Structure 1
Amino acid sequence: MNEQFGVCNLSLVPIRTEPSDKSEMSSQLLFGDHFTILENTGKWLKILTAHDEYEGWIDIKQFDEIEHSLFVALHDLNTILGPFVSNFITKVSANEKLHLVAGSNIPNTLDKFFYLGNTKYKLEGETFRPTIDNFRSSVIEVAKFYLNAPYLWGGKSVFGIDCSGLTQMVFRHFGLKLRRDAYQQAEQGELVAFLQGAQGGDLAFFDNEDGRITHVGIMLDNERIIHASGQVRIDGIDNQGIFDKGLNRYTHKLRIIKRIVV
């Protein structure tokens, strides 16, 4: 059987753990995210995302099928929408607006027009090509764009986001690919030996009582962290972990700190 490929043609599409509307959402696709189709039930697709090699199920009505040549090309079309709440494109044939979230992938445009599959769109706004060159100077500003976003398991937007979704989306704005889950991200980068040596943009990981890494946040400096817990928030951190002043207690136990951009 020949491989089949798809691309997300909507603003946010839930990836579910099982082929059911009642199944939990484990992640999301943003517009322009592409993937390999692993299984087709007629109602659901099991997919493997190209960005972070994440498996899950999406509704068969929430994608466009694409040729392998476009699938390959989308690997290199690293042009995205910036950290702004108001982003939209127009579906030309129907003259319909499609509101998109920050970090959505937009193929190269010609006079503001582009194709995704067989559909023609018009870009209403600006895109940019992410680069790590300004990571240290801009990572905190981008992270704060998501400040106060509500916590949503599997979420990846300012309207709802989880802890590893936050880190993944912030790093996406610099062309850096993080895996989807916190324990997977903990396997990336280089170890920072001491909290005192942490820099803005380093990732701090936290474990549960069983020693499993279950939480991640972005260091603002060696005393503060931005993370998604109830909402995207800024808290103090020390060698013991994250201290929530509102609750007057530690909420997360520090395990390790990793540096992705050396």
Structure 2
Amino acid sequence: MNLSFGVCNLSLVPLRTEASDKSEMCSQLLFGDHFTLLEVGEKWSRIQTEYDEYEGWIDNKQYVKVNQATFDGLRNSKSILSLQVFHKVSKTDNLTVLKLLAGSTIPQNVDGLFYLGDTRYKLEGATINPINSEFRSGVKDAAQFYLGSPYLWGGRSIFGIDCSGFSQMVFKQFGIKLKRDAWQQAEQGELVGFLQESRAGDLAFFDNEEGRITHVGIMLDNQKIIHASGTVRIDPIDNQGIFNTELNRYTHKLRIVKRFS
């Protein structure tokens, strides 16, 4: 079977559950996010992302097709953009400037120059190569980069992010791959037996009345959690769950805590 591939060549685009502008946004693609094309229509393509194997529909005007070699190069690239609001990238043929976001994937480059498809780009600044061993010392600062970001279902950026997108993007800064949805992330990692044993960077998961995992947050220590709920915020947590001091009530019921590094 001959596979076809694509890559997002814009700062941030929606991934939708159906082939329609009116359809729900289930996730977002950042610049450099690459994928396998499962189905290509006149306006929409159904894709599976390489990073987290997530499926959805993307507008055909919001990506470019690439060959197997380019796809493999992106898959093997360790270079991403660090935690700052904007990174400037210019198209060298027409000087169009893109403002790229933290966590965007950048192909291997020489002196900041790289290609996506047939287009050459110039990066201002430098990329980082995520280092897993820096996770414990750096995860608090990385998580708090998103502090105050508005909640957005399917969001993966500082301008709008959901709970599992938040944990995924923070962990990406340290080369730790998480799946897209909270229930999928809950199937990863190693179980932490007691909340009191949790430490910075552990993920706490929360369920609803039916027992389904519906929320995730990043532990800052064994008494505080940072999570996306209305906004990315810091709240106290105990064995019962997250307590919102503004509402003076528990908002999320604790299910399990997982460790990833």
Q: Distance in 2 between matches of 1:67 and 1:258?
A: 38
| Runs of 4+ displaced beyond 2 Å | none
* CA displacement at 1:87 relative to structure 2: 1.1
Matches within 5 A, 1:1-262: 2-261=2-261
Q: Distance in 2 between matches of 1:97 and 1:217?
A: 34
* CA displacement at 1:2 relative to structure 2: 2.1
TM-score, length of structure 1 as denominator length: 0.99
After superposition, what is the alpha-carbon deviation per residue over 1:139-188, rounded to whole angstroms, capped at 9, x for unaligned?
Answer: 01000000000000000000000000000000000011100000000000
Report the 3-state secondary structure (helix = DSSP H, G, I; strand = E; otherwise coil) of the residue aligned with 2:88.
strand
Q: Distance in 2 between matches of 1:85 and 1:69?
A: 31
- Code of the aligned partner of 1:236: P
CA RMSD of superposed structures (Å): 0.7
* Bigger Cα displacement from structure 2, 110-119 vs 14-23: 110-119
Contact 2:73–2:107, Cα closer than 8 Å, also in 1: no
Q: Distance in 1 between matches of 2:165 and 2:208?
A: 19
Structure 1 stretches lacking a partner, 5+ long = none
Q: Distance in 1 between matches of 2:114 and 2:72?
A: 17
Identical aligned residues as a percent: 64
Q: Distance in 1 between matches of 2:42 and 2:101?
A: 29
Q: Distance in 1 between matches of 2:168 and 2:43?
A: 29
- Code of the aligned partner of 1:241: G
- Code of the aligned partner of 1:161: I
Q: Distance in 2 between matches of 1:41 and 1:135?
A: 41
TM-score, length of structure 2 as denominator length: 0.99
Structure 2 stretches lacking a partner, 5+ long = none
Q: Distance in 1 between matches of 2:112 and 2:69?
A: 22
Report the 3-state secondary structure (helix = DSSP H, G, I; strand = E; otherwise coil) of the residue aligned with 2:38.
strand
Aligned residue pairs total 261
- Code of the aligned partner of 1:140: K
After superposition, what is the alpha-carbon deviation per residue over 1:95-133, rounded to whole angstroms, capped at 9, x for unaligned?
Answer: 110011100011121112111111100001121100101
Report the 3-state secondary structure (helix = DSSP H, G, I; strand = E; otherwise coil) of the residue aligned with 2:169.
helix
Report the 3-state secondary structure (helix = DSSP H, G, I; strand = E; otherwise coil) of the residue aligned with 2:62.
coil
Contact 2:150–2:160, Cα closer than 8 Å, also in 1: yes
* CA displacement at 1:86 relative to structure 2: 2.2
Report the 3-state secondary structure (helix = DSSP H, G, I; strand = E; otherwise coil) of the residue aligned with 1:137.
helix
- Code of the aligned partner of 2:260: I
- Code of the aligned partner of 1:142: A
* CA displacement at 1:67 relative to structure 2: 0.4
* Bigger Cα displacement from structure 2, 50-59 vs 83-92: 83-92
Q: Distance in 2 between matches of 1:112 and 1:126?
A: 7
After superposition, what is the alpha-carbon deviation per residue over 1:203-232, rounded to whole angstroms, capped at 9, x for unaligned?
Answer: 000000100000000000000000000000
Q: Distance in 2 between matches of 1:111 and 1:211?
A: 51
- Code of the aligned partner of 1:70: T
Q: Distance in 2 between matches of 1:199 and 1:76?
A: 31
Report the 3-state secondary structure (helix = DSSP H, G, I; strand = E; otherwise coil) of the residue aligned with 1:250.
strand
Q: Distance in 2 between matches of 1:157 and 1:191?
A: 28
* Bigger Cα displacement from structure 2, 202-211 vs 1-10: 1-10
* CA displacement at 1:247 relative to structure 2: 0.2
